[in-house]
Amino acid sequence: MAASGPWSQDNWHLRPNRNGTCFVHRGRPEPLDLHLGMFLPTLLTQATPEQQDRFFMPAWNLEIIGTYAQTEMGHGTHLRGLETTATYDPATQEFILNSPTVTSIKWWPGGLGKTSNHAIVLAQLYTQGQCKGLHAFIVPIRQLGTHEPLPGITVGDIGPKFGYDEMDNGYLKMDNFRIPRENMLMKYAQVEPDGTYVKPLSDKLTYGTMVFIRSLIVGDSARSLSRACTIAIRYSAVRHQSELKPGEPEPQILDYQTQQYKLFPLLATAYAFHFVGAYIKDTYRRISGDINEGDLSELPELHALTAGLKAFTSWTANAGIEECRMACGGHGYSRCSGIPDIYVTFTPSCTYEGENTVMMLQTARFLVKSYTQVSSGQRVTGMVSYLNDLSRQRIQPQHVAARTVTVRINDPVSLVEAYKARAARLVEAAAKNLQAELNHRKSKEDAWNRTSVDLVRASEAHCHYVIVKLFTAKLAEIGNAAVRAVLTELCLLYALYGISKSTGDFLQAGILTDAQITQVNQRVKELLAIIRPNAVALVDSFDFHDVHLGSVLGRYDGNVYENMFEWAKKSPLNKTEVHESFHKHLKPMQAKL
């Protein structure tokens, strides 16, 4: 039952959302999001067949409504710091769950406040007097039928937030709350009746749900940025403002180069992230299949890739959505534009399922480890295989990125090589700076902290390389010559714009010359003009229906101003011609003057 059917991992198509979950209603958060987006997938990937038989169908039929309780008031991304405990009692074959401190109270899980009656709780497992680290447990929190909190459970809503008013993010405190031994998710690690602990093949297997959600956030970054671009570019084609030439009609603001420079690189980014999102989803599924067959060889890179790309894409999309809002002028600030709602819905992704800076540092650990392997004569595979070029240093000592790179700025394949050289240089520089710090102090942790800015830059460069590489590779798969030509222009714009914003890296490494940087900046401006005639068609191809876009400014029919007026007339303040505040406050005040 667990491995097939509409609920199987291969058929899981729900959209990721707040706290790494899925929207019940397309585009809006709902209290059932974590049930669908994390509770059910965790059962599929971490429960034994027996546990799936017990829990999955009741959860599928909404008899059990679950959430995913990992984050605590005092700890989020640093999972090893979580304080909730699950102590095994062999006499009763039960786990005793406790929230021993105020900072250990589970905090933030969506649907926990008022909706869920179960939670998958991440807790430190204690058995036979030893802590075995973080494990997942299925914990009933409310009585079926009455929905009252169970004895030993304190649960509620955490209160208003920056957005997500529809979502009952909650808190959970447990006091000596007992669950059967069989409620520990035991697909990988087990606790036997006598308390004997059976280790998993890898500790990272416990975090499979997070890796799954991080892979989905990459695709959600593409969708959210695509929605904002659609609104801003359509509106820029409708809006006429100022003069390009005296006496002539006001032009569309999309004809201004400065407006194109704001929006077209974001449009190219949205396409790039779309292709990367599809790649990372397929990669996750492929490697998950390998893991089920006992092959864990690609698990470290999967963790590193999903962590880094989650951070890179969500940071970029978050800033891009705000740029789209500002590109719409004053009307962009109105909720009728739709962009404020996109922003408040998307922006938490920079911190949930792993705070982005910490995610970049996790990717950096993998990059430094790969660099160390190459330096010791081993070869690495996958997206870090470019580090194998370091072996040439034995013959010709020099920075890996200092070797000659002939860059043709109109060739995406050549630009991939430039980004590869930049990533290699920054990974190498960060690794060497880390080693220099280690040579000066005993503490590895202190050395890591003192190098962390360099390490984050290296991870960003690695992720940027991966995205340019995947975008370029996608071009070869497009059979339609006209479509391929347009997407090649977008790919060039994405790559060249990225270079123009990081010129120091490419100059310092000797990858590009001053003259080439000048050519890059000029070519970016030329591409803006080339893309302009297709800009509206390119956002139309995202195929967002008006009801999903939720924007007066981004309407498909372009009928903006009439609908903006109609939208404004529906404001609650317009229900009466004279508001009660006039009689209550203004009129008495005027009478005293």
DSSP 8-state class, residue 377: T
User: What's the confidence (pLDDT) of residue 172?
Assistant: 98
Q: How many CB atoms lie within 10 A of CB 566?
A: 11
User: What's the confidence (pLDDT) of residue 400?
Assistant: 45
Residue 336's closest CA among 561, 23, 579? 561
Whole-structure pTM value: 0.85
Q: Are 222 and 470 in contact (CB under 8 A)?
A: no
- Cα distance between residue 145 and residue 567, in whole Å: 42
- Cα distance between residue 457 and residue 461, in whole Å: 6
Q: Are 235 and 227 in contact (CB under 8 A)?
A: no
Residue tagged 């229900």 (tokens): 575
User: What's the confidence (pLDDT) of residue 304?
Assistant: 94
Question: Pick the catalytic residue: 30, 72, 94, 353?
Answer: 353
User: What's the confidence (pLDDT) of residue 518?
Assistant: 97
Give how far Cα 294 sits from Cα of 42, 65, 283, Å. Answer: 19, 31, 16
Residue 402 carries which side chain, given as an amino acid letter?
A: A
Q: Are 55 and 47 in contact (CB under 8 A)?
A: yes
Q: How many CB atoms lie within 10 A of CB 259?
A: 20
Residue tagged 């801003």 (tokens): 232
Beta pairing partners, 477? none
Residue 224's closest CA among 108, 324, 327? 324
Q: Are 18 and 164 in contact (CB under 8 A)?
A: yes
- Cα distance between residue 216 and residue 303, in whole Å: 13
Q: Exposed, middle or buried, 576 (CB in 10 Å: 0-12/13-18/19+)? A: exposed
Region for 299 from its dihedrals, namely left if φ exceeds 0, alpha if ψ lies in -120 to 50, beta otherwise: alpha
User: What's the confidence (pLDDT) of residue 245?
Assistant: 84
Angle at 430 between CA 425 and CA 434, to 5 degrees: 150
User: What's the confidence (pLDDT) of residue 232?
Assistant: 98
Per-residue pLDDT of the chain (593 residues; tens, 9 = 90+): 333 333 333 333 343 343 433 444 455 678 898 999 889 999 998 999 999 999 999 999 999 999 999 999 998 877 888 999 999 999 999 999 999 999 999 999 999 999 999 999 999 999 999 999 999 999 999 999 999 999 999 999 999 998 888 899 999 999 999 999 999 999 999 999 999 999 988 776 766 677 888 889 999 999 999 999 999 999 999 999 988 888 889 999 999 999 999 999 999 999 999 999 999 999 988 988 888 788 888 888 999 999 999 999 999 999 999 999 999 999 999 999 999 999 999 999 999 888 999 999 999 999 999 999 999 999 999 999 999 987 664 434 444 444 456 889 999 999 999 999 999 999 999 999 999 999 987 799 999 999 999 999 999 999 999 999 999 999 999 999 999 999 999 999 999 999 999 999 999 999 999 999 999 999 999 999 999 999 999 999 999 999 999 999 999 999 999 999 999 999 999 999 999 999 999 999 999 88
Strand 85-89 with 118-127, pairing: parallel
Residue tagged 């072996």 (tokens): 391
Report the sign of the C-alpha dihedral through residues 203, 347, 170, 101, in that order. positive
Residue 110's closest CA among 223, 221, 24? 24
Residue 269's closest CA among 455, 414, 459, 463? 463
Q: Catalytic annotation on 148?
A: no
HSE-CB for 144 with a 13 A CA cutoff:
10
User: What's the confidence (pLDDT) of residue 113?
Assistant: 95
Helix locations, 162-292, DSSP H: 208-238, 257-292
